[in-house]
Amino acid sequence: MIFLWAFLVGGAMCAAAQLVVDLTALTPAHALVLFVVLGAVAAGFGWYQPLVRLAGAGASVPLPGFGNVLVRGIFKEVGRHGAQGLMTGGLTASAAGITMAMVFATIAALAFRPKG
């Protein structure tokens, strides 16, 4: 059942993002930022974690999931280190994902030639 919920929730998020790009004047970059911010706001109010429990990777992998990780990391680090956690929490929680994105982007850039 988790696979069905992951597919439905993740697909709905992707469809919503595509509709934002297609039906508004926002660029894809603006849509990306919008969805990360929406995920962060939802996490801040405690609304995103129940969605992650329901849909698993369908909710944690798309862009709102990144906003959720940032906010959860900030909450955790503020609890441990006080105000300093505001600056360090998001990067601490998302460091592995950011690093892997950079590694794979570098590999892709070295392996493929752009069309010119």
Domain segments of the chain as ranges: 2-111
Contact 58, 8 (CB under 8 A): yes
Tally: H helices and E strands in the chain: 6, 0
What integer pLDDT is reported at residue 62 of this predicted model? 85
Q: In this prediction, what percent of the chain has a pLDDT beyond 70?
A: 99
Averaged pLDDT of the chain? 93
What integer pLDDT is reported at residue 79 of this predicted model? 94
What integer pLDDT is reported at residue 61 of this predicted model? 85
Find the distance separating the first CA and the last CA of the chain, reported in whole Å. 46
> Cα(89)–Cα(77) distance, rounded to whole angstroms?
5
